[in-house]
Structure 1
Amino acid sequence: MGCGTSKVLPEPPKDVQLDLVKKVEPYTGHKTDVYKHFIKDDGGGGLKAGCPSPPYHIQPYSGIHLASHTEPHEPRRTRVAKYRAKFDPRVTAKYDIKALIGRGSFSRVVRVEHKATKQPYAIKMIETKYREGREVCESELCVLRRVRHTNIIQLIEVFETQERVYMVMELATGGELFDRIIAKGSFTERDATRVLQMVLDGVKYLHTLGITHRDLKPENLLYYHPGTDSKIMITDFGLASARKKGDDCLMKTTCGTPEYIAPEILVRKPYTNSVDMWALGVISYILLSGTMPFEDDNRSRLYRQILKGKYSYSGEPWPSVSNLAKDFIDRLLTVDPGARMTALQALKHPWVVSMAASSSMKNLHRSISQNLLKRASSRCQSTKSAQSTRSSRSTKSNKSRRARERELRELNLRYQQQYNG
């Protein structure tokens, strides 16, 4: 539901015991990034660091895209062989490289197949020679090495070199949550509670381990497979924070995606894992309507809405949504984090426990899908316009970005003063 702006990466935890996935000793055979320019950017400049990165769920490209210096008359088989040769030999000894399915500023994701079992996986390759890559890699590995839950993406194994880390992960092929809703043709409150139960189960497990996701949003909730009985999986732990039991549970780093950020993060106050529950309130609101509870192109106005907890149930399909469902959302979108429901309390809410049995069973699909498609179209046009502006006025764009960052710092300071009374 929209591309967030710049994310602030958290400091990697220094005291987490990592012992569930065996660490592979660094391979020192390669001294340079041998495939840095090998894959051709497929339009639009690739994924930007500030946008939600689609690590294992976007549709694969039709094939492996090679850089322009590759000879056009060269047979495809030869080109693919050369591409595979760029990977660490320990990886290619075990996995067949199939297709590039995503790329970011310092990472690439390829679809692979295990040679012995023929099981498909995704390999996320992170360039750790860059500071941002190291931070994301360390943060994500700190979490994924500890978790084992049916509703959380699974880390299979890790290969490390001097400048790169290869994370072999489950491949979620069922698509994003809202893509499925649009294609489904029918969606009721009962369907919504089934989705939220799975997500809440995963979040409760994370919070029990002292892990806060800090970037929960629809793009990070994927279906494992295309079937109707597919489970939902939580992905993308690049901003997650992991603490050992008994440690101070307060966090201070400002991070996340603007429309999903909890009020306490905006005012730079120490916060807890309750920020995940706020994000789940936003997701629940979108799930039942296809619209955002807090949305404004002007960042200052957006933050004011969030800080006031200002949202409404006007427009379609809200008249058809039960009061019990609205009560569930209200108990999550509570400005006071201490009054917000925990994951366990949310799982015990009457609307979820009864699987919306006492709620309206009206099909909300038409209104939800129309709202989702309308917003997607609007965002697409905004993105194209922004890309066009950036390509022709890069210097001016950099100045504007710095101005926005300065405005954001000043805005946060004012809100903090107001918040503290």
Structure 2
Amino acid sequence: MKDKYEILNQSVGQGSFGIVRRARHKSSDTACVVKAVKKASAGDQYRANLVDAGLGETLLRMSSEQPHDNIARYFDMLEGPTHFYVVMEELQGPELLQYIEDVFPITEAFVHDIVKQILESLAHLHGVIGLVHRDVKLANFRFRGPVDSSPLVLLDFGLASSASRPWDGAVCGTTMFMSPELVAHLVKAPQMKAMDIWAVGVILFVLLTGDSPFEDADIKAWGQPDTALQQASELVERVLARDELRVASECALALLRKLLVAEPTERLSAEAALRHSWFSTAPASGQERKLPVTREGYRKVRTASRTSEIRKPVL
């Protein structure tokens, strides 16, 4: 590790399994960040996902051969006696929700641009790379650099898995963004990508209203396979009738109805969602109006999305 990289003392983050520090690739003088993951803390499952299942190799190949502006770039994966080392680009911009708090209030036009970039990242991940992210949430999007000239980037691929392999049975991610079929253990390989799409629907609702569409107790109630999808469908109907959504354009609401669909086979794919009229037509009158949402609402959602995690080791 030290032969290839100069590890700087400045920490840029810390998780349950390691510290992220700024670094420099010696031969190319390229700035980067390195996450050192303790093997003793991460356990065998980390190796199984990163090495044995080929996730690390897939992420490196994606970054070098098929990069996308809206997806974080990985440079290297190394293994030492006591740590795994994950090397990736350093994102200089703010987290999405932090930026929203800073520039509050926002408009539907802003939400339109953000959701489009999120869907573009997933269209590439699902359709070109063949991965399912499995932890799509607001906290996993950050701007690459200064927001005015920088794309929004999807990061944290530690739960990602192949879209073509059978579901591994793991109920993982963040509760607020979990789909009904995941909670109910009804995931089928052909529809694994639909879990990410449900999460985009939750994100769209949050951005338009400053509130979560579902309570944790409601989501946990989907744990009964026989009734989960019916319960979720009835709850979605009530959620989509909430007064907070009256400020949104009909096009935005029409897309939301196609994303928050309890039956995974009926959800739009990321590519199909990008062809929706909300993106293909001229902005509707009123999209530049400020959304009547409180800053405190976004702040509560930001806190809730960090405290409802059910995860395994992440990259």
Q: TM-score if structure 1 supplies the norm length?
A: 0.61
Conservation of the 8 A alpha-carbon contact between 1:294 and 1:302: no
Task: Give yes or no for the alignment of 1:369 onto 2:280.
Answer: no
Q: Distance in 1 between matches of 2:154 and 2:285?
A: 28
Q: Which has the larger radius of gyration?
A: 1
The residue identity in structure 1 corresponding to 2:135 is D
| Equivalent position to 1:321, from 248, 257, 266 | 248
Task: Give yes or no for the alignment of 1:126 onto 2:37.
Answer: yes
**Of Structure 1 and Structure 2, which has the larger fraction of its residues in helix?**
2
The residue identity in structure 2 corresponding to 1:159 is L
Higher relative contact order (CA closer than 8 Å, sequence separation 6+): 2
Unaligned runs of 5+ in 1: 1-87, 384-421
1:46-85 aligned within 5 A: none
1:27-176 aligned within 5 A: 88-91=1-4, 94-115=5-26, 119-129=30-40, 130-135=43-48, 137-138=50-51, 140-147=55-62, 148-176=67-95
Residues 213 and 158 (structure 1 numbering): CA distance in 2 closer, same or farther, change over 3 Å?
A: same
The equivalent of 1:226 in structure 2 is 146
> Deviations for 1:373-412, whole angstroms, at most 9, x for unmatched residues?
34457x59x97xxxxxxxxxxxxxxxxxxxxxxxxxxxxx
Q: Distance in 2 between matches of 1:97 and 1:250?
A: 39
Deviating more after overlay: 307-316 vs 252-261 = 307-316
Q: CA deviation at 1:277?
A: 0.5
Q: Distance in 1 between matches of 2:282 and 2:102?
A: 22
1:250-269 aligned within 5 A: 252-269=169-186
The equivalent of 1:347 in structure 2 is 274
Unaligned runs of 5+ in 2: 308-315
Q: Distance in 2 between matches of 1:253 and 1:124?
A: 24
Q: Distance in 1 between matches of 2:256 and 2:218?
A: 24
Task: Give yes or no for the alignment of 1:202 onto 2:124.
Answer: no
Conservation of the 8 A alpha-carbon contact between 1:197 and 1:347: yes
Q: Matched residue of 2:47: which SS?
A: helix
Q: Distance in 1 between matches of 2:198 and 2:300?
A: 24
Conservation of the 8 A alpha-carbon contact between 1:222 and 1:232: yes
Task: Give yes or no for the alignment of 1:217 onto 2:137.
Answer: yes
The equivalent of 1:333 in structure 2 is 260
Q: What is the CA RMSD across the aligned residues, in angstroms?
A: 2.9
Identity %: 28
Q: Distance in 2 between matches of 1:267 and 1:185?
A: 37
Length, aligned pairs only: 288
Q: Distance in 2 between matches of 1:127 and 1:136?
A: 15
Q: Distance in 1 between matches of 2:143 and 2:277?
A: 25
Task: Give yes or no for the alignment of 1:190 onto 2:99.
Answer: no
Q: CA deviation at 1:371?
A: 1.3
